[in-house]
Amino acid sequence: MSSNLEPSKDIFSFHLATLPIARMPRFLFRPGYNQRVPGLNHSENFLTMNLGEPILTAPRYNFKTVAVFAWWRDESYLSEFLEQPSSRFLVDGWHVRMKLYRRWGEVAELADAIVEPDLAESKKPVIAVTLARLKISETARFIRWGKPVENQVKNHPGKNLALAAIRPLNTFSTFSIWQTEAEMLNMVSGRDKNSDGESHRLAMKERTRRDFHHEFTTMRFKPLKEVGLWNGRSNYTSG
């Protein structure tokens, strides 16, 4: 949806937190979660993964580290949600609040989210999020083309934080914070083979040839506020 004349009150949030393994199945698969939380338009719950690690190895998966990607009607609803006892584990983690300003592709649950292109600032930090519903039959191709992209992002000097995430069996996401939008675009287009790499550009070309997904969207966000610590650090979104 295009930007309105009046600024939207919509915000998004991305959360990282730890959770006991015994609570993981309910966290990933509980039904009706969006309907029970006031002001929550949509959310996605994930198990996090480390970029670049082999798929079928334990170091690939952070079995106690979860992520939540959420779209809210107003920031006040997010604040109220975090005050609930059931959200304590998220309060003890880290999150960033952000506004959507670019989007390509579409996932049905996010189709009505307001895009505000005037928020773009090429020399300021930017957050990139992808959300995909993978075609199970394309899993092998997706891994083949996706793993080099993971290594490209993991090793890029322009990123501050990057991870992948999964909700079995076919929902995947990536989350990354970049020092500037220009650094992220260099990676996407592979402008310098040595510093930026070409894996992302080649993978997107392959996806255009034959799509890996039922649904796919890639989004860019302007960070608004960062709360908490992750891996002993804060200010991932500082310019």
Contacts of 119 by beta carbon, 8 Å cutoff, 6+ apart: 99, 101, 222
Let me know: does 100 contact 116? Beta carbons within 8 Å: yes
Q: What is the pLDDT of residue 239?
A: 63
Let me know: does 95 contact 16? Beta carbons within 8 Å. Answer: yes
CATH node for 11-225: 3.30.70.100
pLDDT of residue 189: 81
Please state the separation of Cα 44 from the chain's center in Å: 10
The residue type of 179 is Q
pLDDT of residue 191: 74
pLDDT at position 34? 61
| Boundaries of every domain in the chain | 11-225
Rg, the chain, Cα only = 17
* CA atoms in the 13 A half-sphere facing the CB of 93: 20
> CB count, 10 Å around CB of 21?
8
Q: How far apart are CA 116 and CA 2, in angstroms?
A: 7
What is the chain's pLDDT, residue by residue, as a tens digit (239 residues)? 444 456 789 999 999 999 999 999 989 987 556 668 999 999 999 999 999 999 999 999 999 999 999 999 999 999 999 999 989 999 999 999 999 999 999 999 999 999 999 999 989 999 999 999 999 999 999 989 988 888 899 999 999 999 999 999 899 999 999 999 999 988 888 777 667 788 888 888 888 899 999 999 999 999 999 999 999 999 999 86
The span from the CA of 15 to the CA of 54, in Å, is: 25
